[in-house]
Amino acid sequence: MKKILFIGAGSMAEALINGWVEQEVVHGQNIYITNRSNRDRLIELNQKYGVNILDETKKIGEMDIIILAMKPKDAIAAMENIRPFISGHTAILSVLAGIEIRTIEEGLGSRAIARVMPNTSATIGMSASGISFNEFVDDSQKAIYLEMLEAIGIVIEVEEDKLHAVTALSGSGPAYLYYLLEAWESVGTEFGLSKEVVRQLMVQTIAGSAAMLKLGKEEPNVLRRKVTSPGGTTEAGIKALEKNHFNEAIYACIKSAESKSRELAKVVTHK
């Protein structure tokens, strides 16, 4: 069984660990974790998932896959710390938003590097992930990554440059939906419904709509029209969305996130 080391033990690392351990793709005993300073966090994950806390840097050389899971701003320092200990056979999987493969090649040397953009729904096996590889990742290694990521959701290979868009859409996507739910709960309670009732109604509405779309039988605009009775409530609601620049707001949201991802790529200067 391959040994996997997470450099960074935050939200995304936990989502992946939880997904892989739950789906029995990787056993906790084959996962190692480390972070910058928060020892309590490492102990928490060790107790929850049976993962190992990396106690000696020399063990880095025994790892088959190292997953870069720190914030993008911490990537250079983290790579400098681990570089002396990595062995030639170790493959790198980065979940860092923005940071390009060539930056990781500069930080860790020319070796097999995959860049993936998952989302936190990996926790329950429902991630939507985009992935790109450098030329050192061979077919058998690709197959391993795809199998690992398919176990926790769907994964789609894209050109590396398109990972900025994937990040803006599905990487950040869960947050947009949670934000939408917060707004629905706020307005729903103004009408005297309890927050719990609004949540039950709207979570089911999201799940039902997603399931209809997943069938792939009808386009979103066709499904939308079926809900929209002429002169009815939906029409009134959609008109209000249009009046309040719904499309502009969505475009601005995704474009800002995409630009931010490109900006994160630039925080690191290339040699």
Ligand X SMILES: NC(=O)C1=CN([C@@H]2O[C@H](COP(=O)(O)OP(=O)(O)OC[C@H]3O[C@@H](n4cnc5c(N)ncnc54)[C@H](OP(=O)(O)O)[C@@H]3O)[C@@H](O)[C@H]2O)C=CC1
Ligand Y SMILES: O=C(O)[C@@H]1CCC=N1
Instruction: Candidates 141-149, 164-172, 179-187, 239-247: pick the segment binding ligand Y (CB under 6 A).
Output: 164-172
CA neighbours within 13 Å on the CB side: how many for 85? 17
Q: Which of 171, 185, 265, 268 binds ligand Y (CB under 6 A)?
A: 171
Binding to ligand Y, residues 81-110 (CB under 6 A): 97
Instruction: Candidates 17-25, 76-84, 147-155, 222-230: pick the segment binding ligand X (CB under 6 A).
Output: 76-84
Q: Which residue is nearest to ligand X (CB)?
A: 10
Please identify, using beta-carbon distances, which residue of 37 and 247 lies nearer to ligand X.
Answer: 37
Helix 39-49 vs helix 11-22: crossing angle, to nearest 10? 10
- To the nearest whole angstrom, how small is the minimum distance from the Cβ of residue 153 to ligand Y? 14
119 touches ligand X by CB under 6 A: yes
Alpha-helix runs per DSSP H in 114-215: 139-150, 163-166, 173-190, 195-215
269 touches ligand X by CB under 6 A: no
**Type of residue numbered 269:** T
Helix (H) or strand (E) holding 124: none
- To the nearest whole angstrom, how small is the minimum distance from the Cβ of residue 25 to ligand X? 18
Instruction: Candidates 36-44, 51-59, 167-175, 217-225: pick the segment binding ligand Y (CB under 6 A).
Output: 167-175
Q: Is 130 annotated as a binding residue?
A: no
Residue 60 interface partner, choices ligand Y, ligand X, none, CB cut-off 5-8 Å depending on type: none
Residue 8 interface partner, choices ligand Y, ligand X, none, CB cut-off 5-8 Å depending on type: ligand X
Q: Which residue is nearest to ligand Y (CB)?
A: 171
Helix 233-243 vs helix 246-266: crossing angle, to nearest 10? 50
Residue 78 interface partner, choices ligand X, ligand Y, none, CB cut-off 5-8 Å depending on type: ligand X
From residue 70, how far is each of 2, 5, 78, 171 by CA, in Å? 21, 12, 8, 15
Residue 237, both tokens? 């609601």
Return the biggest CA–CA distance within the chain: 70
From residue 174, how far is each of 32, 128, 141 by CA, in Å? 27, 10, 29
Residue 64 near residue 4, CB atoms below 8 Å: yes
Footprint of ligand Y (CB under 6 A): 97, 167, 171-172
| Binding site as annotated, residues | 7-12, 69-72
Known binding positions for NADP(+): 7-12, 69-72
